[in-house]
């Protein structure tokens, strides 16, 4: 029996996802009736097809096809976990996942939607489950965690086969415990989020340390509240 998500296959053949240099977001070439782009990354773009609304199609650039196989492998290992989207199949240059409603933590900050302690705990439990499957939970940040009815769900598992701890999640938890009460329920301007992101990346490049980063963020948030 042919799976119903195959209805989108012809439409997906009419678009091309092209990778760009310097870790810039991909470019989408072409159009297809009924196909809507709902997300863009540096390796792939995510589409939804009007006849199969319960699925999303993560289409990879030619340069990132190896990552497609890696991500498929990881999702197969995480099968059955409620903390991640479910894998339903794959095509030549895409994987098929469950469509997940919700708002990313990043957009929660922009829109003033409170991020619950339960959602934070869900991500902690998701990380433990990943480790139990012999994988390494990495690259967990504001834009790949969804808030779903007060619960947390993790997107983008492509780095779970890499070694090492990038500490991105640990830093987010620290910020949640130490700063979030200042801004919970308030809309945070985009320029502030992007400024903090820029400072964080510079900190990772050893331009300055965690202590100076903390002081900068504290001053910025305190000034914003005045």
Domain boundary among 98, 126, 156: 98
Side-chain half-sphere exposure of 192, counting CA atoms within 13 A:
19
Q: How many CB atoms lie within 10 A of CB 131?
A: 12
At residue 226, does pLDDT exceed 90?
no
Of 65, 98, 131, which closes a domain?
98
Judged against a pLDDT cut of 80, whether residue 222 lies above it is answered with: no
Average confidence (pLDDT) over 55-80: 96
Whether residue 188 is found in the same domain as residue 133 = yes
* Calpha distance 27→145 (Å, rounded): 23
pLDDT-derived band at 206 (thresholds 50, 70, 90) equals low
- Which of 48, 75, 98 delimits the end of a domain? 98
pLDDT (0 to 100) of residue 209 = 67
**Has residue 214 got a pLDDT over 90?**
no
Same domain, 86 and 140: no
pLDDT-derived band at 204 (thresholds 50, 70, 90) equals: low
- Of the residues 4, 43, 122, 139, which is catalytic? 139
C-alpha distance from residue 141 to each of 89, 170, 226 (Å): 26, 10, 28
Crossing angle, helix 210-225 and helix 190-204, to 10 degrees? 170
Answer yes or no: do 91 and 130 share one domain: no
Identify the CATH number of the domain in which residue 43 sits. Answer: 3.30.200.20
Decide the pairing of beta strands 44-49 and 52-60.
antiparallel
Picking from 126, 111, 128, 120, the residue whose alpha carbon sits closest to that of residue 184 is 111
Q: Residue 185: which CATH number?
A: 1.10.510
Is there a contact between 172 and 178 (Cβ–Cβ < 8 Å)? no
Same domain, 122 and 150: yes
The candidate with the shortest Cα–Cα distance to 94, out of 55, 130, 133, is 55
**Across residues 141-145, what is the average pLDDT?**
94
Query: Same structural domain for residues 84 and 160?
Result: no
**Tokens (6 digits) for 12:** 């997906």
pLDDT tens for each residue of 177-190: 988 988 899 999 99
Tokens encoding 141 = 């940040």
Residue 196, domain extent? 103-225
Active site residue 139: yes
Instruction: Give the pLDDT of residue 155.
Output: 94
Mean pLDDT score across all residues of the chain: 92
């Amino acid at each position: 029996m042919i799976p119903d998500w195959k209805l989108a296959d012809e439409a997906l053949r009419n678009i091309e996802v092209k990778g760009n240099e310097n870790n810039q977001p991909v470019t989408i070439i072409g159009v297809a009736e009924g196909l809507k782009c709902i997300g863009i990354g540096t390796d792939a773009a995510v589409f939804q097809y009007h006849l199969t609304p319960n699925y999303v199609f993560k289409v990879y650039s030619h340069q990132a096809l190896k990552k497609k196989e890696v991500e498929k492998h990881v999702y197969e290992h995480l099968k059955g976990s409620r903390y991640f989207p479910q894998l339903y199949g794959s095509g030549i240059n895409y994987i098929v996942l469950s469509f997940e409603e919700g708002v990313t933590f990043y957009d929660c900050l922009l829109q003033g939607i409170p991020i619950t302690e339960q959602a934070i705990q869900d991500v902690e439990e998701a990380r433990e489950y990943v480790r139990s499957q012999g994988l390494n939970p990495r690259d967990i940040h504001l834009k790949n965690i969804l808030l779903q009815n007060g619960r947390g769900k993790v997107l983008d598992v492509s780095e779970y086969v890499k070694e090492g701890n990038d500490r991105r999640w640990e830093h987010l938890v620290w910020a949640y415990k130490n700063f979030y009460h200042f801004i919970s329920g308030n809309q945070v301007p985009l320029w502030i989020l992007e400024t903090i992101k820029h400072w964080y990346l510079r900190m990772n490049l050893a331009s300055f340390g965690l202590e100076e980063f903390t002081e900068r963020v504290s001053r910025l948030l305190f000034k914003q509240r005045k």
